[in-house]
Amino acid sequence: MKTSMKTSMKTVHASLYTNHAAALVTLAFGYDFKLFGSMVSRNESMIYGTNSLNLWHDRRLASGGLFGTMLPQTPAPLVIRSWRMLENDVQASYVTP
């Protein structure tokens, strides 16, 4: 019986957490790869054979929200150095060529 792993993902919607290593491989040549959510780990590796890698981070995860008590906590209080109002969209977009 032949088994194969699909490595042509184009979109992932997830909040991934591991205390060790996280790895991702996608070979969807000719497409863009989009990750909606977050990846929290000590070591991470992303190998993408796509036109671009688009990371969409949900700001609600960083401010507590639903998963706030399950994510690693900051040992010291944060200091606000600047403040600016956000648009209605709670997602930030990071695009790499």
- Whether this prediction's pTM lies above 0.85 is answered by no
Is 75 within a domain? no
* Residue 44 confidence (pLDDT): 81
* Residue 1 confidence (pLDDT): 47
Is 84 within a domain? no
Q: How many domains does the chain have?
A: 1
| pLDDT tens track for 36-92 | 888 878 888 888 888 988 888 766 666 555 656 666 666 777 677 887 776 666 666
| pLDDT tens track for 64-73 | 556 566 666 6
Is 74 within a domain? no
Torsion of CA 58, 60, 66, 68, to 10 degrees: 100
Q: Which whole-number Å values give the CA distances from 86 to 49, 79, 81, 91, 92, in the listed order?
A: 33, 19, 16, 10, 10
Is 33 within a domain? yes
Determine the 3-state secondary structure of 73 from DSSP.
coil
10 versus 3: the higher-pLDDT residue is: 10
Is 82 within a domain? no
Is 77 within a domain? no
Is 83 within a domain? no
Amino acid at 33: F
Determine the 3-state secondary structure of 65 from DSSP.
helix
Is 34 within a domain? yes
For the cut 80, the answer to whether the pLDDT of residue 23 exceeds it is: yes
* Domain ranges, residue 2: 1-68+89-97
